Amino acid sequence: MARKTFIFARLEKLVHLGWSETAESSHLAYKKTISVFLDFLAEQADRDLADLTRSDIIRFRNELSKRLGADTVNRYVKIVRMFFKSAHRDGYLLENPAEHVDAIRDRSKDARRRFTIAELQAVMAVKSWSVMTQSK
């Protein structure tokens, strides 16, 4: 049996085990994520599940971050981590390669400049003035 089939079959089992506990939209997200992950692995998707490494998952995360936003990438990474955590818990893996794969930071949020004290005071002065003129 090819590992790609095994990985997808494992996902199906996870989906069915938690069917009553999660929404249909979650199941679709799980399937989509694993499909994207398998596409990323390409020919390597047929490797033994235990041969997948933390660096494979980090490369997956980094490739996604080149074309998707941080929130979307982190959602994919979270689902991949859930998949590997379950496989580890159920004895399919001795170690969980996704355990210490961190989420990415949204760099666009870092790029925003903070207000200076003078700018905040100017905004507050305008706000106070408009409140005072409306009350008359």
pLDDT means per 10 residues in the chain (136 residues)? 56 60 78 86 78 92 92 93 86 89 77 79 71 54
C-beta separation of 61 from 73 below 8 A: yes
Residue 110 lies in a domain: no
How far is 120 from 63, CA to CA, in rounded Å?
Answer: 39
Domain ranges, residue 17: 3-105
> How many independent structural domains does the chain possess?
1
**What single-letter DSSP state applies at residue 49?**
G
pTM, entire model: 0.68
Q: Helix, strand or coil for residue 1?
A: coil
Which pLDDT score is estimated for 2? 47
89: domain CATH number? Answer: 1.10.150.130
